[in-house]
Structures are given as structure tokens and as C-alpha cells.
Structure 1
Amino acid sequence: MERKKKIITILSFFLLVVSVILYNSFLSQNTKKLTTNTIAKTQNLSTDKFSLKEAYSKALIEAMNWNKDSKLVIITSVDDDEKELAGASGKRKKWNLIFANLPTEETLQISIDNGEVKKFPVSKEKTMANVIINPDSMQIDSTEIIEKAKKDFKLKPGIDWANGFHFSLMNNGNQTYMTVTGLNQDNKFTQIYYDSKTGACIGSKVQPN
């Protein structure tokens, strides 16, 4: 059981790192594909920073416009211009979300960038049902877990790469959890895992040297 937990933790850590890298690459390659019809300006914005749950709420509107059966697969924050200050309050300017339509085996990527909700072309991709995130499991927010991470792990913001504090929400097939990523006291890239329902810490992973 302990070995299984370690494997899941390592895979989850790797998934977040890859998500950030792939998203930045994907965004740069697909920006030209965006048209005025694929960008929805968010109305009545009071701030250009959003918590994870706020980002989900904004993206969900576009996802449901795409397909009423769309389901959330993953949320992850993305580097922005605030550098090491980003995410200090649990809110960030940029987020990436992926929604899936299981019957049609399609996925939709939506990004939130300084208040703009950007919807990319639909991709043909099969998603396993057991990795879908149930909205009922989203009981805590990034604004809460950042305070836990700072208090319990003395977590510091990342510098130079994966700037500031990063957040994600995913389902590994057995459990839905939220993560916060930054630097530990030894300045090593560290990811901490929290139960997305209770907020309880379920583990942490330090990037090996």
C-alpha cells in the first residue's frame, strides 16, 4: 500500500510539471488559431486574478456552451508576469482547464488569461471515466491550501521557472486532490497534495536532485 502511494505521488508530481510545460507549448502554437468567436470576455470583472474554483466557474460557462455533457478533467495554473509574487494569495492571472465529452471522445481546452476566457479548437481524444472530476469533490479552494502550505511546510514561491505558487486539481483514478507547488526551505521544487473535499494533507513530493 505504501509503495502504491509513493508511485501515485510521483506520477502526480510528474503530471503537473508536464502539464505546465505542455500548456505553454500548446498556447504558443495555437494562439494564431484563436478568432473573435472563440474568445468570450468575462463580464463585470472586479479583478484579473482568480482562485482555482473561480477559474472553474468561469470556464464552466464556456464548457457548457460547447456541450452540456462536458466534464472537468484537470485544472492547472500557468506562469504569468507576476513572477515570484504570483499565487501568494491563492489566486493567479492564468489558468488552464480541460473538459471532456466522454460519449464523443472529444476534449476542449479553455484558458483564463487576465480576465479573458479563451476556448481552443476541440480535440479528438478519449478520456477515461475514472479521471473525471466530480464538482462535489471541490470543497476547498486554492486560497485555503496556500495558507496551509505556508504554515505547515514553510513553502516559498518558485523563482525563474514555475514562478510563484502553482495550483492544480486532478483525479488519479482513485482520488481527487488539489496541489500547491513552490520551493521548500532547501529551495527544492516541492509539491504538496491535499484532499479536495476535506483539505487534509495527503502527502508531499520533493523534486530529486
Structure 2
Amino acid sequence: MKKLNHLFKACLVLVIFPTYFHFYNQQAIALGLTDITNPIQDRTELSLKQAIELAYPSALKWNKNAQLLQAINIDLDKPGKSIGSNGKRKHWNVRFAVLDTNKSFLVTIHDGKIDQTKDLTMEGESPYPKQELIRLSDINYDSPQLLKKALEKGGIHPGKDWAKGYNFMLSKDPETNITLMSVIGWNSDYKKMVAVAFNATTGEYIQP
């Protein structure tokens, strides 16, 4: 299976995100990394960067050479009006990899705490190249800041029943070498998902 990062080129993010968002959440459930049957009380919300910083020590314990590959919130919240409106979410999946190997590691966060971890190394995958891995120093803008920018551009609304609220994703475009942070929501009639992508280093809007 080809690495998912290749799917997230800036010019394609509006087209492919709905399929990927659904797949990533279903994959997490299938792996036993989420629990949608037990309500979680007193959940703590984290920004995208806070989620990464929380997950990183576990990844380094797994492998001292682990580097960030991808981060995305999980759509487990009950429907509500304010989900993600502050640029933070309660549930996250943060994925790491080891350069030039097939090794991959997933950290799942619930309630501001690490809920589970999973070694996702699979046979047959091509090694992760440098162009796909993200340095923390490349993330100068966080999800609250970029949500504000996305709302200023207009045309993006919080989801209601699926992909609820505002959603956030971080990935690397291996062709442009840009670390992308995307804010995802819906159009005004809630018939189509829309995403607004930014350069996480410069805060610059990325034209789809």
C-alpha cells in the first residue's frame, strides 16, 4: 500500500480529503485504537501542535529515530455547535515513521492523554523518504491561528453529523517540500466538504 502522504498534494486536497478522512477514522476503529461506545467525561481539547508534542515522547520511546509523518483529528465527538471552533479537538491520531525504513507508529490521543499506541510497520511498503517527514521546527503556525485565517477567507462551515465541526490535518507534500496544515469543513449547503490549506511554516495560503 502506498503511503497516504502522497495523496495530500496541495492541488488535490479539496478532492481527496473526504475519502481519506473516512478511511483514517475507520482504520483507527478497526485497529482497536478508538472507543466510540464509552462516553469520555471531562475531555481536554488540544491544538494540532499540542497533540504532536504530546505524542512525540512515545514515538521516541518506540524508536529513537522516529520523525513526524502526519497528524489528523478523529471524528468521535458527539454533534455540537462548537466542535473545533477554537482550533482544538479532543481526539487525535499522530503518525510517525523512521527515515529510509518501513517502520511506522501511531499514537492515539483521547481526553488530552495518550490512549493507545500501535506499531503499524507493514511488509511490502517502500521506505519513507526524507521528503515525507516533518520537523517540529517547520510548524510555526498552529490550528487555532490557521482556523482564523480560513474563516477570514470564508466559504467554510462546521460539519454537523459527519466530519463534525472544523477538522485539522498536517502532512508533507513530498514534491513541493511544503508542510501543509489543512482546515476542513463544509460548504454552505453541507453537500460538499471543503478544505483550506496553509503552509505551516510561513502561514501562507496554498491555492488549490
Q: TM-score category by the smaller chain? A: 0.7 to 0.9
1:16/1:168 contact within 8 Å kept: no
2:108/2:117 contact within 8 Å kept: yes
The amino acid of 1:138's aligned partner reads I
Partner residue in 1 for 2:118: 120
1:162 aligns with 2:158: no
Partner residue in 1 for 2:93: 96
The amino acid of 2:109's aligned partner reads I
Moved more, 83-92 or 46-55: 46-55
Gaps (5+ residues) in structure 2?
1-7, 35-41
Partner residue in 1 for 2:38: none
Flag the structure with more relative contact order, 1 or 2, with Cα contacts below 8 A and sequence separation at least 6. 2
Taking structure 2 as the reference length, the TM-score comes to 0.80
- Distance in 2 (CA, whole Å) between partners of 1:154 and 1:21 is 22
Partner residue in 2 for 1:86: 83
Deviations along 1:147-205, one digit per CA (max 9) or x if unpaired, are 1111221521012221110111111111111100112335332100111112121124x
1:26 aligns with 2:27: yes
Counterpart of 2:183 in 1: which secondary structure? strand
Identity fraction in percent: 28
Deviations along 1:100-151, one digit per CA (max 9) or x if unpaired, are 0124421001111223312013413432321111222100000101111112
Taking structure 1 as the reference length, the TM-score comes to 0.80
When the two chains are superposed, the root-mean-square deviation of aligned CA atoms in Å is: 2.5
1:182/1:191 contact within 8 Å kept: yes
2:48/2:142 contact within 8 Å kept: yes
Q: CA deviation at 1:14?
A: 4.6
More helix by share: 1
Q: In 2 relative to 1, CA 164–122 (structure 1 residues): closer, same or farther, beyond 3 Å?
A: same
- Distance in 2 (CA, whole Å) between partners of 1:170 and 1:68 is 21
- Distance in 2 (CA, whole Å) between partners of 1:9 and 1:166 is 17
